[in-house]
Chain A
Amino acid sequence: MGLMELAATKALASAAVLLFITVLMMASAKRISTCIVLFGAQSAVLTSQILALAFVHKSAEMYIVAAMVFVIKVLAIPLALFRIVERLNAPREVASSTTSSQSVFTAAGLILLSFYAVRPYVQTLGVEEDMLAAAVALILTGAFLMVSRKKALMQVIGLLVLENGIFLAALTTTFGMPLVIEIGIFFDLLMGVFLMGLFVFRIRDTFDHLDVSKLRKLRG
């Protein structure tokens, strides 16, 4: 048991750091597939996180949540994204509008910003500062990815990261929402990814490219 305790506490302690690392790497990544892997890793960290919490709080619901996160975010979605990348057989780099070094520094800046942002709330909420900061950091970087990356798929991934962040925030602050709600959210997420995949194909078919920054027919 002691071992488990240790693992759990270790997991809780180290999770934030790991998440920051994934974020930074994602910012610097050049290939879409790398990003997908990183997203999977990120989700895995989350899973461990939930497991640890579940163990600490002894709540059965959270085990289920953990399982769902693992199945959907670590396995299903990354695999699906890989399939899409395969089938698209389009150029695979992320086509960022910023150089990777810029992106990394921006991401770092966003992490610091998130620490600064959550500071006032930590006392009132009584949660670990670094976890909340990590959540906000995920949200911000997710947003940053969506704004800076031109590839349709990268926007999907950015969105997923953002969603991870929100999920993490929910987790750290409220130890998860009622199970039904969680399930519903996951369902929506799955459907969303499915639909976006669909649209990615449509974009490919209609425009012969995946560069969303070129979708500018509708304006004014």
Chain B
Amino acid sequence: MLVLACRSARAAASVALSTGTLELAAIANVAWKVHTAGALQTGRYLRADALTSFFLANIGLISVIVLAYSVGYLRHIPEGRFSSPRWFYALFFLFLFTMVAVYLSANLGMLWIFVEATTLASALLVGFYNTEGAVEAGWKYLIVCTVGIAFALFGTIALYLAAVKGGVNPESALDWTVLMAAAPKLGVVPDLVKLAFVFVVVGYGTKIGFVPMHSWLPDAHAEAPSPISAMLSAVLLNCALYAVLRFDAIVSRAIGSGFSHTLLLVFGGMSITVAAFLMVVQRDLKRLFAYSSIEHMGIVALGIGMGGMLGTYGALLHTFNHSIAKALLFFGAGNVRENFGTLSMEKIRGMAKSMPWTTGALVVGGLSIVGLPPFGLFVSEFMILTQAFIGSHYFVAVLLLAVLSVVFGAMLQHFQGMFGGDAEVRPAKLKLATSDFAAMSVCAVCLVVLGIHIPQAFTAMLHAAVVVLR
């Protein structure tokens, strides 16, 4: 796939698209193999189990949609160093490759390497426009994430150390399967394991966007080109989350789930609360969506933190739903930027008249992101809440319900402002490219389907994924 990426760097959008579809096919293939033959191990460092295939399915779907959207989106971008369609696609596929590699790596060290690589690969994409904002955002993204990831490295080392102390053979002491198998042995040095998890959660948490390590996230999402914002929010965050999931599984086995889950609950709670309040006072559309990503990562963290079959299941489902919905929203934001030339929500008025389809997309995306039926996030949030009450985490439940109301208010207020009224800024009245339309409609359809009837195969995959984690 690296090869493919390189080639497509010199090719036009069509190549990119075909590559994307090939990649999707490859992923589907992997997923199918996993589904039939269970875990898939190639060499010492590449491995694919159900969890992998689930996230691969996610990344495949999103990336193809995003590619389709970028075709229309890249029609007019300012030319500059590193900022031309070919560079875009080259970096895009590099980025994509690193993320796929994250999922495929069987070894926590590899995992770390590739997560770091995602940062490096996407940094240039964040700074793609070369404007002041873009450079600033890129810099912050690069530095903050690298620092965070560095801590994650320390955490990985600590866990490695714990494994070695636990008598695991140093050569394979970072392999995920080995660690899962030998997890009880790690229990001999609980302090060390705890230390490791603290560093890991802070490190990867930075990339997930847990408050208070979230600071880079709004800037990066707001300043990147909309397709990239979609990728960041819909796929990259899940990557980091995946890493935390793996560690959480090991640590839970080693010293019981109490510690790690408490940590996740704390971070999740902080994230949803702070994000919700900040959403109330946002002025920039994409920053608003960025904060909502923080909020949803928080919800996922809560789901995992509460544990239980339903919680984990709901959390995974939620990551999937969230990525689709968020992609849709960022596509809408992209169209808004193209037509109004701005993203500041005070300036945008009368969208309902001037760009009905985008409005429709934003309405669908908005409704689903605040967790209303008949969209997927309603189902997953329903599950997570159910788990909260089953496990009698009443505080979490009440907090979540309250926060959801605040978020709803914020979203509603902002969207109403943009849809109604008469625009001071005359929209450019750009015609919606068919590719954009296709991308957005696919997202919408997926959301509705996941809200009304989840396909059998998908549920099976999810169940397998959950089983992997326990």
Binding site for B on A (CB under 8 A): 120-121, 124-125, 139, 143, 146, 152, 155, 159, 162-163, 166, 169-170, 173-174, 177-178, 180-181, 184-185, 187-188, 191-192, 195-196, 198-199, 202-203, 206-207, 212, 215, 217-218, 220
Q: Which of the listed residues A170, A199, A212 has the most CB atoms from chain B within 10 Å of its own CB? A: A199
Stretch at the interface among B56-64, B158-166, B384-392: B158-166
The answer to whether residues A203 and B135 also contact, given A159-B146, A178-B109, A195-B124 and a CB cut-off of 8 A, is yes
Asked if A195 and B120 make an inter-chain contact with CB atoms under 8 angstroms apart, the answer reads yes
Asked if B142 and A199 make an inter-chain contact with CB atoms under 8 angstroms apart, the answer reads yes
In the assembled complex, the Cα of A169 lies from the Cα of B153 at a distance in Å of 11
Asked if B135 and A199 make an inter-chain contact with CB atoms under 8 angstroms apart, the answer reads yes
The interface bits of chain B over 129-145 (1 if a CB of A lies within 8 angstroms of the residue's CB, else 0) are 01111011111101100
Is B406 an interface residue when CB atoms closer than 8 A count as contact? Answer: no
Asked if A188 and B147 make an inter-chain contact with CB atoms under 8 angstroms apart, the answer reads no
Distance in angstroms from B122 CB to nearest chain A CB is 11
CB-defined contacts of B171 to chain A, threshold 8 Å: 178
Q: What are 24 A-to-B residue pairs whose CB atoms are below 8 Å?
A: A120-B191, A124-B189, A125-B161, A139-B154, A159-B147, A159-B150, A162-B150, A177-B174, A178-B174, A180-B110, A184-B109, A188-B117, A192-B116, A195-B142, A199-B138, A199-B139, A203-B135, A206-B131, A215-B136, A215-B140, A217-B133, A217-B136, A218-B136, A220-B287
CB-defined contacts of A203 to chain B, threshold 8 Å: 135-136, 139
Within 8 A of A (CB), among B211-265: 218-219, 222-223
CB-defined contacts of B287 to chain A, threshold 8 Å: 220
Contact of A173 among B110, B135, B146, B157 (CB under 8 A): B157
The interface bits of chain B over 327-359 (1 if a CB of A lies within 8 angstroms of the residue's CB, else 0) are 000000000000000000000000000000000
The interface bits of chain B over 41-70 (1 if a CB of A lies within 8 angstroms of the residue's CB, else 0) are 000010000000000000000000000000
CB-defined contacts of A202 to chain B, threshold 8 Å: 127, 130, 135, 138
In the assembled complex, the Cα of A124 lies from the Cα of B116 at a distance in Å of 30
In the assembled complex, the Cα of A152 lies from the Cα of B138 at a distance in Å of 13
CB-defined contacts of B272 to chain A, threshold 8 Å: none
In the assembled complex, the Cα of A112 lies from the Cα of B150 at a distance in Å of 22
CB-defined contacts of B278 to chain A, threshold 8 Å: 220
Asked if B191 and A177 make an inter-chain contact with CB atoms under 8 angstroms apart, the answer reads no
The answer to whether residues A207 and B154 also contact, given A121-B192, A199-B142 and a CB cut-off of 8 A, is no
Q: Main SS of the interface on chain A?
A: helix
Size of B's binding interface in residues, CB under 8 A: 50
CB-defined contacts of B135 to chain A, threshold 8 Å: 199, 202-203, 206-207
Asked if B127 and A199 make an inter-chain contact with CB atoms under 8 angstroms apart, the answer reads yes
Is B281 an interface residue when CB atoms closer than 8 A count as contact? Answer: yes
The answer to whether residues A220 and B281 also contact, given A159-B147, A169-B157, A195-B120 and a CB cut-off of 8 A, is yes
Is B167 an interface residue when CB atoms closer than 8 A count as contact? Answer: no
Contact of A188 among B107, B116, B154, B165 (CB under 8 A): B116
Beyond A184-B113, A188-B120, list 16 extra A-B contacts (CB 8 Å). A124-B191, A159-B150, A177-B109, A178-B109, A180-B45, A181-B110, A181-B174, A184-B110, A192-B116, A192-B120, A195-B124, A199-B123, A202-B127, A206-B130, A206-B135, A220-B283
Distance in angstroms from B214 CB to nearest chain A CB is 13
Is B170 an interface residue when CB atoms closer than 8 A count as contact? Answer: yes
Distance in angstroms from B212 CB to nearest chain A CB is 14
Asked if B160 and A212 make an inter-chain contact with CB atoms under 8 angstroms apart, the answer reads no
Asked if A173 and B161 make an inter-chain contact with CB atoms under 8 angstroms apart, the answer reads yes
CB-defined contacts of B283 to chain A, threshold 8 Å: 220
CB-defined contacts of A218 to chain B, threshold 8 Å: 133, 136-137, 140, 218-219, 222-223
Asked if A206 and B132 make an inter-chain contact with CB atoms under 8 angstroms apart, the answer reads yes
Distance in angstroms from B416 CB to nearest chain A CB is 21
CB-defined contacts of A192 to chain B, threshold 8 Å: 116, 120, 142, 146
CB-defined contacts of B132 to chain A, threshold 8 Å: 206-207, 217
Asked if B191 and A159 make an inter-chain contact with CB atoms under 8 angstroms apart, the answer reads no
Within 8 A of A (CB), among B157-193: 157, 160-161, 164-165, 170-171, 174, 189, 191-192
Q: Which of the listed residues A180, A188, A196 has the most CB atoms from chain B within 10 Å of its own CB? A: A188
Asked if B192 and A124 make an inter-chain contact with CB atoms under 8 angstroms apart, the answer reads yes
When C-beta atoms are compared, the residue in chain A nearest to B152 turns out to be: A166
In the assembled complex, the Cα of A198 lies from the Cα of B135 at a distance in Å of 10
In the assembled complex, the Cα of A7 lies from the Cα of B123 at a distance in Å of 44
CB-defined contacts of A146 to chain B, threshold 8 Å: 143, 147
When C-beta atoms are compared, the residue in chain B nearest to A188 turns out to be: B116
Distance in angstroms from A131 CB to nearest chain B CB is 14
CB-defined contacts of A139 to chain B, threshold 8 Å: 154
In the assembled complex, the Cα of A180 lies from the Cα of B135 at a distance in Å of 33
In the assembled complex, the Cα of A14 lies from the Cα of B139 at a distance in Å of 37
Asked if B170 and A174 make an inter-chain contact with CB atoms under 8 angstroms apart, the answer reads yes
Asked if B165 and A166 make an inter-chain contact with CB atoms under 8 angstroms apart, the answer reads no
In the assembled complex, the Cα of A155 lies from the Cα of B147 at a distance in Å of 10
CB-defined contacts of B136 to chain A, threshold 8 Å: 203, 215, 217-218
Q: Which of the listed residues B150, B170, B281 has the most CB atoms from chain A within 10 Å of its own CB? A: B150
CB-defined contacts of B113 to chain A, threshold 8 Å: 181, 184-185, 187-188
